Amino acid sequence: MKGGSFLNAALTAVCFAALLIGCSSDEGQSDPASSNEAAGSTENTDGVEVKAVVVEDPCTCFEKGLSRGQLRYCRESKRDVSFLEALRKCGTSEVVGVSAIDKMPGDGQYTMNPKATIVQWKGEKLGMTEMGTVPIRICTISIQDGQLVSGNVVIEMNGMKSTSQEGLAARNLTDHLRSDDFFDVKNHPTAAFSFESGRTDGRGGLVFDGKLNIKGISKPVSGNLSFGSSDPVVATVDMTFNRADFDVRYGSGSFFDNLGDDLIADEVSLQIALVEDVDLRKSN
């Protein structure tokens, strides 16, 4: 049985995004001078050059009502390790859930590129791992006041396929997964996921809560999200769900007894490597 790992797929998406931004080697490295450089830098926003405005107290970055210049300074200063450490010590940061989120994008709504975004699934059967991909129709995430406040992903279930098999075996597995034994894509051509809130995981990423809708059934789920880049936005989502919760019964011990070698694990893992459609953002 052949197939790549989730990690390789995520790295592929991140490298794709790196090509879009010129493969900068400085991002993520400690640069003691970055705070000073940020103070004199500018960016074009709605045709107006916005200059970074120095924030003397890093904890100010968690306050509401900051100017665009202050927000730019806070965002760019996260490249400085000492600035990140100061953020971690802010008393309110853990409460609002934005403590030192690595490469958190600035406030706004971001649309992912469906051609570059990779959704991978993984399931288990008697120690055997089956993997595959499924495309997205659309994905957006919204950041407000430095927090993940919402996001939506619509998944094209008709595009589900196996990557752990080849040839006829892959086609047979794909057809079976699309059938009414599993996800019944004829009657349920899309699935959906919505982010509802996010909080820091203490390691530079987010723990999120949301809702997953499969076969018309909506259930709460949670997982992890980490940002690999803020411009373009590149993020990796890791989550698991119990297929029995969505009436996916075939080979499930939750519905059938004495399955023996036909038992298939209920838990399905998902990893999504999100890559922003930068051209769409810059054209708005």
Note the pLDDT tens digit of each residue in 69-98: 888 888 787 667 677 667 666 643 333 333
Q: Between 222 and 36, whose confidence is greater?
A: 222
- 21 pLDDT exceeds 50? no
- Residue 86, judged by CB atoms within 10 A of its CB (0-12, 13-18, 19+), counts as middle
Among 65-69, 166-170, 203-207, the range of highest mean pLDDT:
166-170
Domain ranges of the chain: 29-101, 109-283
- 13 pLDDT exceeds 90? no
Read off the DSSP letter of residue 64: S
In this predicted structure, what is the pLDDT of residue 134? 95
Integer Cα distance of 216 and 187 in angstroms: 10
Q: Out of 17-26, 73-82, 275-284, which region has the weakest mean confidence (pLDDT)?
A: 17-26
- 182 pLDDT exceeds 50? yes
Yes or no: say if 270 and 240 are a contact pair by the CB < 8 Å rule.
yes
Integer Cα distance of 110 and 14 in angstroms: 16
pLDDT tens column, 211-267: 999 999 999 999 999 998 888 899 999 999 998 899 888 766 555 554 444 457 888
Average pLDDT over residues 29-55: 56
Q: Out of 35-44, 68-77, 161-170, 186-195, which region has the weakest mean confidence (pLDDT)?
A: 35-44
For all residues of the chain together, what is the average pLDDT?
A: 76
Yes or no: say if 244 and 252 are a contact pair by the CB < 8 Å rule.
yes
In this predicted structure, what is the pLDDT of residue 101? 73
Torsion angle of alpha carbons 194, 199, 205, 207, nearest 10°? -50
In this predicted structure, what is the pLDDT of residue 283? 54
In this predicted structure, what is the pLDDT of residue 66? 83
Q: Out of 35-49, 75-89, 155-169, 183-197, which region has the weakest mean confidence (pLDDT)?
A: 35-49
Integer Cα distance of 104 and 139 in angstroms: 17
106, two tokens: 């600035």
Q: Out of 6-20, 34-48, 156-170, 248-262, which region has the weakest mean confidence (pLDDT)?
A: 6-20
pLDDT tens column, 92-138: 333 333 345 778 888 899 999 999 998 999 988 877 888 999 999 99
In this predicted structure, what is the pLDDT of residue 81? 66
282, two tokens: 């810059």
Integer Cα distance of 219 and 242 in angstroms: 10
From the candidate CATH numbers 3.30.429.10, 3.40.50.720, 1.10.3720.10, 2.40.128.110, the one assigned to the domain spanning 109-283:
2.40.128.110
Q: How far is CA 116 from CA 21, 59, 80, 102, in A?
A: 14, 36, 29, 22
